[in-house]
Each structure stands twice: as structure tokens, then as C-alpha cells.
Structure 1
């Protein structure tokens, strides 16, 4: 019931501005009915077995995984994957797929090569064009997904009449209304309009792009070309890292927006503030990682010292540092038990928790009655046979074309050789002799004996 109420509290409307030529331009907008906060960007990841769970049967090829995902995205957003991109993108995945058309980019899907995960990136246009109530449907999907994680989400609020401006944001920053834990984030101006008003718009940044919170306060209307527009957008980009972004933010945007900075609570009709939990990593670095770099650094030197006759104790004493430990290896948090975990579970600095990675409860769906391990989405054997037949037909076609291009003399010679081979084969089949164990023997067909048991 709570999710349905949240999805109903988002309204869609149009805002009109004028472009540089004086023409009226309609901009489709959406916002929360109560607090005005909406999602302007979303990036999520989850394990690929989520799609196997959704399909209810094993998936074999990459195309099958993307087919199931496209169908699921159409249920959630109202649109699915349109095509595979030639580029791999900038997310270090092996493949990238496009959401939207060639001219309008709704978002992207990245897949392959990242520990069996899938990444969905929904951009601003995609968030605006998605089917109403997509936030609640995405929340339900992530709740059922395997190892889901929101890695980035942008929450924004619009001030169409200039109730809040970049100049006001700069003043509030100086007065400490963007401080967190008694720390003031860095800030930056951007735009030529700060020095002289030219209608291009001002932007005020607070924080750094890789921080857990990054604020952009900019004149949205002037960015779109209306030099007289008072439309200002206050946008907060939340990044996974120091904070854990819960799935609940999809259906309760206003509360987390309000809890981001003290200034946000002063905006109109803000709900009760909610804050993110801080992520604590189990280990900063694994012993194997440091050992690898140490071996690369001094491994050959150790070989030389052994060959010249130095003992192990002498080598250790000569190479040993006076004090301290490698950066990232914290003795109070790095015990022998954790080292054994690292050897079994791999590098831990990429994970939030060892228990999360080693948890196998999500495999229960594979033994449930809804999962058919013998079913396949596509007929793989049929596809292979069809591809093989097409390849054989193509080879025969190419051979015929090459034969047609041969000179007449060579073509006649080839036909004569083929005819001679055919006649030899006919004579061999009609001969009264057969080659039998290295010698010719007389060949006669023996009459079949009638046997009533055959009937």
C-alpha cells in the first residue's frame, strides 16, 4: 500500500520556455505532488542470475539474458532495449546496449565481464519518459533481485519562478547550510554569467563528483536556451561508496533529499528527513594484493641475494623496513582468520562484506517448483543446424560463382574429369568383383532366404 501511495504522488506536467529564436518550447516534467522531489538519474547493478530467476529456466547465451532483461524493462519502464552498440562504453563491461532511439538517449545497459553483473543506467530523458509508477515497479524488481545495488541516483527539485538561485546557494554554502559532520564541502562556480550576465546561465557546484553527495544548482531554463528564464534546478547526486543507498529511496525520494543537507529541510513541504548508513569495509586491502606488488618490486633482488650466498635471515634483515606497515593493511583489523577468508573468497576490497558475497540463500529459486532446468528460451540445436546448413549453402554458392568465372578451356577440362570420375564409379559398382581383404574376389548377390518370422 505504501508503494502504491508513493507512485501516485508523482505528477506529470509541461513547462514552456522560449529558445534562442523566440519560439515557444514545451519541456515535459515530473515531480512529487507533495515535496516536488523527483528522480533525474538512476544507475543500478545486480547479478545476472536475477534474469534466470525471472525467466524461470536456465539461460544459455548473452542474447537470451538480454531478451529477458528487455522484456522486464518494458514491464517496468514502458520501453526496453532497442539495439546493441558498437562501443563497449565507459563502464568496463564487454557489451553495451541502448535504451531509446538513435537520436534520443534514454539510457544504457552494460553486460559481461564484471563478475557476472548487469548494469542499468537510466538517464534524465529516460526517467521523464518512463511509464507512470516506474519507481515502485523498479523497487519491487530490486527487492527480488540477487545482490542488487544502487550505485548512483540523482534527486532534483525545480524552482520555476526563481525562488532559489545559484547565488543563494553560494551564500548558504558560506553560512554552513551544506555542512555535514562539521565539515564544509568544496564549492565551484561555473559559467561566464557569473562575471557578466549574458543569458547563458550560472552553475554552482558543491562537493566533488566522486563524493557520496554532489550538488548542482544551475539555471535550467537558460541552459535550454531561454535567456530570460527564471527556472532553477537544485540537484543532488548520490554515489555509492561511503554511503549505502537503500532501495527505499525509489519510493521515498523526498525524505532522503531532505536529509542530505541542512538547507534541504528549509524547502517547502519537505517530509521527515532520512539519512544514509555509512558503509564500513571489512578490509582495505588483501594480503595477496600486497604480496603480489612486493614480489614484483624485490623478487629479482632476492634471487640475486640468494645466489651470492646470503642467508634468509640476512636477506630479511637487509630488506626489512625500520617500522610501519603497508598502507591499507591495518593490523587491528587484519587477522589470520580474515586472511583465510581472503584466500577463499578472493579480493575483499571490492566487497561490502564477506558474508554478503558467500551467502547462498539466493540459490533457493533454482530448486523451487517454478524453475524448469530443462526448459530453454531458444532452440540452440536448431539454430546450430540452421547456421551449419546456411554455411554449406553459402560455400556451394561461392564455388558455383568461382566456376562460372573460370576460362572456357579450364571449365571443359574440369567437366571432363568429373564425367570420367562418374563413369569409373558406375563401372566399379557394376563390376562382378569386389576388393576384399587385399584381393579381388568374385561378387555375387546371394538370394535372401524366406523367413516367416519377418512378418
Structure 2
């Protein structure tokens, strides 16, 4: 007797091997795949950036950090590209061979792509460009997630946490598939939205909801319906849609519920999401947790899966390490100097004695909650922590600088517009008053008659 899990595996395997024709008549292969063992969610898109230093560590150790200025030199650029190609194959498999695209991507001057046999883009690699601060972009598409070698999620985690310099996940899509429509469909998802299951407990506003497809006429052509929740502008959104119909099978019950999360100045995407996608999926919306619970019940799985939310920061909740240094110097610098004079030993300050006296006695959990650190800080070795902080602070300062410039420009533009409106109002008031005076001269009422 076949178990449900075996049936599900066969279903996914069959769908993955099916070929259908798109609207232009071009053959397409379906992208059905099972989650990693123990998970109920797959990763369906991934954007990550790393510093170019990741691929020129030997040159930096030999010539110093100024070697970054040579990344545009043709010979040096080829060396970097070869090392990127080696890393790409190690992460995703031998079939991932980079070829020049001939144009840039997302502000990066150069782009290299990996194509499938059918011509679909599996991976984009962007590099170069003054505005990108010597970063390299890796953009793994949904098709790329499908064709990447088994276990790529763990390899990417190890790469970001232990090999990459200034590694960051800037976007990730997580998806749950109900291939048989056994416990979810469009009508159920639409009903859950009406019950506010896409609203987090402390959310102030309900996210926008838009339906795509011929919903009014009950999708007569079988192209599928989509429920869009939220917006990319806010950095997090959800899509619940009839995946099988979207791929060309009008009778398919395959229903997919996916979330798209972007890193912002107030939201971090931790590397752990690569290893525990279901936990972060459940924490995104109450709907997602409900869906996973239904999937577990369908498989008779009694194990527990915790909800783990993406870290969202308050604007004033985090301060940098260097800001802490400035605050400490301003508020306690005089006191510290007195301590050092008191414990002076000969010509030298006994700084160790002073530090031992002033530092906390806590052995753990002593990191201030407001202190802002790189997301991978605690996975680094002691010698790499200071370097990571310096890179992190440099990037933060530069971003803050550019944001302050944009803010000042926006304020000046607003002031110009306000002044223009005031001038227009003055002119209009003068015109109206003049017109009124002339009208009174011509039509002065004859009170005597």
C-alpha cells in the first residue's frame, strides 16, 4: 500500500517531467519539486550580494585593500570571473556555466547568465559599476532553484556564513505547493484573507488585496486566478494562485501559496532561512501557519514547527558600534580619564585594571539589544568580526550619506514647490481683489433712489 508521502513524491516527479506548450506554442517544462526532508516549503527565488573581496582575498593579503580599484582591469576582471564561476559550480552544480549577457542588471554594469536547455534563465550574476560599492550579485530564479543540485541551500548558507565577505540576502521567495488541492484552493485563500489571516497581530494596517484573472466570470478559460496580498514597495507580499492552470493545465488542482520578502533598512533576512524555510514561512502571516498545519494534518505529521519571523527593526531601535563609541566618549570620557589617572602605574596606564572594574559581570546575553551588528556576526571567527563590523559600518555610513543627500534634495524641492504655490496664491489674490474693485466701480448701487 502506498503512503501519502510516496504518492506526493510520485505526483511531484510526474509533474516535473511533464512538458506543456505556452501561449506562443513554445514547449515548457513544469517546475514541480518537493521540499527538503522535514520541510513543507521550498525556496523559489533568491537574491544575494557579497563583496568582491570574497574572490580577491589572496590579492588583498598581498597588496592591500587598494587592489579593489583594479577590478575593472580586463586581466584582473577575468581572474575574478573565473573564481566566481568556480564558486557558482560548487554551489549549484556543473550545469551552471556563466555566459556574458551583453548588458547590466539592477545597476550592475556587467551581467553573466546561466541558461537551461530550453533557454530559461537559471542564474544572473551582476558585477561592476561605481554605485554598487564593489559588490557581486547572485540572482537565482525559480527555474534555477529547480535545476540546482540537491542540497544547494546548505551550501549557500555555508558560503554566506563562513566564506563570503559582507554577505547579504536581499530577496527570498518561499512557496508551499498543494499539488492535489487537498486542503487549499483559491476560494479558501480568498476566504482567509477576508478573515484577516494576512494581518499580523501588531500590524496597524491591512495589506492591499488584488485579484488577477477572470474572477467575476469564474475563470471560464481555465487560465487560473491569483490572490495578491501586500506590495513589493513594503518589502513583503504574498501570492496565492492556481499554479497548474497557470502552467497550461486547465483541469489541474495544483495550488501554490508563496511569499516574497525583501531586505530593507528596517528588515533583515537571516541566513537561517536557507536551512529552516518553513519556520520563517509560518511566521510571515497567520495564513501561512494555518496552511502548514493543514499540510501536516494531511500527512498525519504530529511534529511541531515553530514560527520564526523576519527581523524588523524600529528606526530608532538600533545604533552602530561607532555611534556607541561617540556616545561613550561624550558621556563617560571624563570619568574614564579620571579612572585611568587614579590607577596610573609609573608612566603607563593600567588600562586592564580599569576595564575589569567597569565591564559587566554577565557571562552571556550581554550584547545590548539596540546595538546593530551584521546578521552573520555571531557565526564569524574572532579575527573576522572586526573586519565584518568595519565593512558593515562603512556600507551603513555611505548609505546614510546618500540618503541624507536625497532627503535634503527632497526638502529643497518641497520648499521650492511651497514657495511657488505661495507666489501663485499671492498673484491670484491680487488679481481677484483688483477685479473686485473694478466691478464695484462699474456697479456701485444708487442708494439715494
Are residues 1:160 and 2:179 paired?
A: yes
The answer for the alignment partner of 2:13 in structure 1 is: 14
Aligned residues of 1:35 and 1:271 also touching (Cα < 8 A):
no
The answer for the alignment partner of 2:170 in structure 1 is: 151
How far does the alpha carbon of each residue in 1:242-283 deviate from its partner, in whole angstroms, 9 at most, with x for none? 321100100011111111111222222361111122134579
Cα distance between partner residues in 1 of 2:235 and 2:273: 15
- Offset, 1:167: 2.0
How far does the alpha carbon of each residue in 1:145-178 deviate from its partner, in whole angstroms, 9 at most, with x for none? 1111100000001011112122221211111111
The alignment's C-alpha RMSD in Å is 3.8
Following superposition of structure 1 onto structure 2, how do residues 172-321 of structure 1 map, counting pairs within 5 Å?
172-180=192-200, 181-182=202-203, 183-197=205-219, 198-241=221-264, 242-266=266-290, 267=292, 268-269=295-296, 271-281=305-315
Cα distance between partner residues in 2 of 1:176 and 1:101: 40
1:215 aligned counterpart, secondary structure? strand
- Offset, 1:236: 0.5
Query: Size of the alignment, in residue pairs?
Result: 295
Cα distance between partner residues in 2 of 1:275 and 1:150: 15
Cα distance between partner residues in 1 of 2:386 and 2:79: 22
2:54 pairs, out of 40, 44, 50, with 50
- Offset, 1:93: 0.8
Aligned residues of 1:282 and 1:354 also touching (Cα < 8 A):
no
Are residues 1:128 and 2:128 paired?
A: no
Are residues 1:169 and 2:189 paired?
A: yes
Aligned residues of 2:46 and 2:140 also touching (Cα < 8 A):
yes
Cα distance between partner residues in 2 of 1:74 and 1:20: 30
The answer for the alignment partner of 1:71 in structure 2 is: 86
Question: CA 1:194–1:106 in 2, change beyond 3 Å: closer, same or farther?
Answer: farther
Aligned residues of 1:81 and 1:97 also touching (Cα < 8 A):
no
Cα distance between partner residues in 1 of 2:90 and 2:99: 18
Cα distance between partner residues in 1 of 2:87 and 2:242: 36
- Offset, 1:52: 2.0
- Offset, 1:24: 11
Aligned residues of 2:47 and 2:170 also touching (Cα < 8 A):
yes
2:78 aligned counterpart, secondary structure? helix
Question: CA 1:24–1:73 in 2, change beyond 3 Å: closer, same or farther?
Answer: closer
Extract unaligned runs of 5+ from structure 2. 1-8, 71-75, 297-303, 328-369, 388-449
- TM-score, normalization by structure 2: 0.58
Higher helix share: 2
Aligned residues of 1:15 and 1:29 also touching (Cα < 8 A):
no
Cα distance between partner residues in 2 of 1:273 and 1:54: 41
Structure number with bigger Rg: 1
- Offset, 1:185: 1.0
Cα distance between partner residues in 2 of 1:86 and 1:101: 18
Cα distance between partner residues in 1 of 2:58 and 2:258: 34
How far does the alpha carbon of each residue in 1:384-416 deviate from its partner, in whole angstroms, 9 at most, with x for none? xxxxxxxxxxxxxxxxxxxxxxxxxxxxxxxxx
- Offset, 1:184: 1.8
2:134 pairs, out of 91, 116, 120, with 116
2:33 aligned counterpart, secondary structure? strand
- Offset, 1:210: 2.4
Extract unaligned runs of 5+ from structure 1. 1-10, 285-333, 339-351, 366-455
Question: CA 1:217–1:184 in 2, change beyond 3 Å: closer, same or farther?
Answer: same
The answer for the alignment partner of 1:82 in structure 2 is: 98
- Offset, 1:211: 2.2
